[in-house]
Amino acid sequence: MSNQSEPDTGVRCSPLVREPLTQQQSHILASMFKALGDPVRLRLLSLIASHDGGEACVCDISGSFDLSQPTISHHLKVLRQAGLLGSERRGTWVYYRVIPDALQQLSTVMATVDPTLVTA
């Protein structure tokens, strides 16, 4: 992402519209989008993000799926490897939390106009 200053036109364009992504940015974002391309993983991310305190244990969310615990753990691992989730072991359980900066990256690159700057 560029740090170059642009004239303030009142409309903020995302890097995707303003300039091409670098190869590194493309790889990072593609792995995030690929991880979210699976409905189970998208729902897992949503369940964790909306859970009390913004974090959840596998034991808190596994009942929401008709999947085995190892399958859910695999999906959580994919989300962690894509940089979308962080985790912390507490005793025998692992607690997961959404990484806000990762979601912001996805949001920023896809937004073409800052909705707060648009007046009707």
Domain boundaries, the chain: 39-111
d(CA 68, CA 32): 24
What's the average model confidence in pLDDT over 33-44? 96
Please give the pLDDT value at position 65.
Answer: 92
pLDDT at 35 over 90: yes
Q: Which of 73, 83, 95 is nearest to 34 (CA)?
A: 83
Q: What is the pLDDT of residues 59-108, one digit of tens each?
A: 888 889 999 989 999 999 999 999 999 999 999 989 999 999 998 888 88
**Contact criterion met (CB below 8 Å) for 94 and 88:** yes
d(CA 40, CA 79): 11
Class for domain 39-111, per CATH? mainly alpha
E strand segments, 4-118: 55-57, 85-90, 93-98
Model-wide pTM > 0.85? no
Please give the pLDDT value at position 118.
Answer: 54
Better-scored residue on pLDDT, 41 or 7: 41
